[in-house]
Amino acid sequence: MLGKRLNAVRKEKGITAQQMADKINVTIRTYRNYESDTTSPSLETLVQIADILGVTTDYLLCRDEKTRP
């Protein structure tokens, strides 16, 4: 579920997967693995992603439908 929501929000914000990977200092392959739910980001990385996208971690984890912190 994280992957789908992560992909949708990133695209909505007009950010490429490569840009996200660069911002969180991981390879594009690692970032794509997050979006495909192959692997999960660390808690620290998840918080960083949420901050970049302007959403809550609960939203990314599908625990809350509110997108704004």
Cα R_g (the chain), whole angstroms:
11
* pTM above threshold 0.95: no
Domains of the chain, first to last: 2-60 (1.10.260.40)
Across all residues in the chain, what is the average pLDDT?
Answer: 93
Between 14 and 63, the more confident residue is: 14
Structure tokens at 2: 């994280």
Q: Is the pLDDT of residue 64 over 60?
A: yes
Band of residue 57 on the pLDDT scale cut at 50, 70, 90: very high
Span 4-19, mean pLDDT? Answer: 96
Band of residue 67 on the pLDDT scale cut at 50, 70, 90: low
